[in-house]
Chains A and B, each alone.
Chain A
Amino acid sequence: MADYEEKKDLTQSTLPKSTKSSDEFSGEVDPELRELLFQWRVPESDSGLDQRVLTAYRSQIAGIGRWKRLFRRRLSVPVPVAAALLIGMASLASRALTVPKVVRLEVPSPPRLVRVEVPIVHEKIVTRTVYRRAPVKEHQKKPSDQQVSPEASLRNSEAMQDPQIVARLAGFDPVEKIQLKVISWGGRRQ
C-alpha cells in the first residue's frame, strides 16, 4: 500500500499538469514535451528526389518555353508584303473607326383602327294571298253573266277548284259586313 502511495506521489510530482486554460496559454515552449517529440527522427529523403525535382523542373520550363516560343516567334516577311498588310490593316482600322452617318428613317405610324358597332335589323316579309268573293253589282251584270250559273262561275275561279268548298258554297248567301279572319297554316290567328 505504501509502495502504491509512493508511486502515486511520484506520478503526481513528475507529471506537471498544466493548470492553465487554453485562454491563458500564450504559446510558451513545453521543454519536456519538446524533448520527447524530438525523438521522432525523420528519415533522409531518397537520393533520387533531387534528380526527380530537377527533371520535373526542366520539363516544366521546356513546356513554358514552348508556349513562349509560340508567341515570340520571329517571322521574316518581305517588305512589299509587309507594306500591303500594313496598308490593309490601316484601311480596315480607319473604316472601323469612322463613325457612320446617322440616317433617320421615319416610319409612318400604322393607321388607327376604330371599331364601330352597327345594329343590323333582320326583317322578314311574309306574303299571304287571301281570296274573297267580291259583291257583284246589278249594272255590271252582263247578260252573259246571268246565263252563267253560280256553280259555273265558281268553277271558273281558282278558289273553287277545291271540291270541298264547292260543296259548302252551294247555298252561299253573302253577308253585308265581312269580318276577315286570316288563319295561318300553323293554326295561329294573325
Chain B
Amino acid sequence: MTQTGRSEQELVKRSQRGDEDAFLELYLLYRDKVYRFAYRMLGERLGAEDVTQDCFLILVRQLDRYDPARAALGTYLYAVTRNLCHKRLRDTVQETAHEDTVEVTHDDSGPLGELLVAELSSQVAAAVANLPDLQREVVVLFEFEGLSLSEIAVIASTDVGSVKSRLYRARQRLRKSLDPYLRDSIRLATEK
C-alpha cells in the first residue's frame, strides 16, 4: 500500500472513531470527484448532492466492506457513487433530469459567449444523458474523470473488454449526436 493509501486508511479509521477533523479531511479530498461523477450520471444537482452525502456516510458506516488491497479509496468511492446513482436512476423519473443544466455556465466572454457556452454545455449534457446508463458511466469515468480502463472495470464490476466496447459504442453515439458541434469546433480550430 502507498503512503497516501495508508494515510487515507488511517483517516477513515479515525473518522469511524468519531474524529471529525479526519472525516472533514477525507471529505474534502474526494468531495468534488464524487459530486462531479454523480452529477454527470444523474444530470441534476440535488440528486448529486444527496448521492455525495450518502457516499461518505456509507464509507464511515461500512468500512469493513472496503478492501485496500483490491482498490484505492478513490476507486471504492467511485464504485459506491456509481451504485447509488444507478439506484437513484431506477427510482426517479427520468423527465426531471437535466432541468438545471443551463445554470452551469459562467463565462466572462459577454452575454453572447455565455449563451453559446450554455447552449453547447446543455447539448453535451443531453448527448451524454441519452446514452445508456452503462455507457454513460464509462464515458464519464474515462473522459471526464480520467480513469484507466482497468480502474473503470473494477468500479463497474466488469472486465476491461466490456469497458472498451462500451466506451467505443458510447463514443460513436456521441459523435453522431454532437456531429454539428464537432464540425464547428474543427472549423474554428482550422481557421485559427
B is bound to A:
yes
Report the contact-size class of chain B (Cβ under 8 Å from the partner).
Answer: 35 or more
Q: Is the interface of A mostly helix, strand, loop or mixed?
A: helix
**Any chain A CB within 8 A of the CB of B56?**
yes
**Any chain A CB within 8 A of the CB of B7?**
no
Contact A49:B53 (CB < 8 A) given known A25-B167, A33-B175, A57-B20: yes
Which residues on A sit within 8 Å (CB–CB) of B163?
27
Q: Which of B116-150 contact A (CB under 8 A)?
A: 117, 120-121, 124-125, 128, 139, 142-144, 148-149
Q: How many residues of A contact B (CB 8 A)?
A: 35
Q: Are A36 and B49 in contact (CB under 8 A)?
A: no
The interface stretch among B66-74, B78-86, B88-96, B177-185 is B177-185
Contact of B171 among A15, A30, A38 (CB under 8 A): A30
Contact A36:B23 (CB < 8 A) given known A18-B171, A53-B53: no
**Any chain B CB within 8 A of the CB of A157?**
no
A185 to chain B, nearest CB (A): 102
Q: Which of A16-59 contact B (CB under 8 A)?
A: 18, 22, 25-27, 30, 32-43, 45-46, 49-50, 52-54, 56-58
Cα of A26 to Cα of B174 in the assembled complex, Å: 18
Cα of A183 to Cα of B57 in the assembled complex, Å: 117
A137 to chain B, nearest CB (A): 133
A118 to chain B, nearest CB (A): 81
**Any chain B CB within 8 A of the CB of A77?**
no
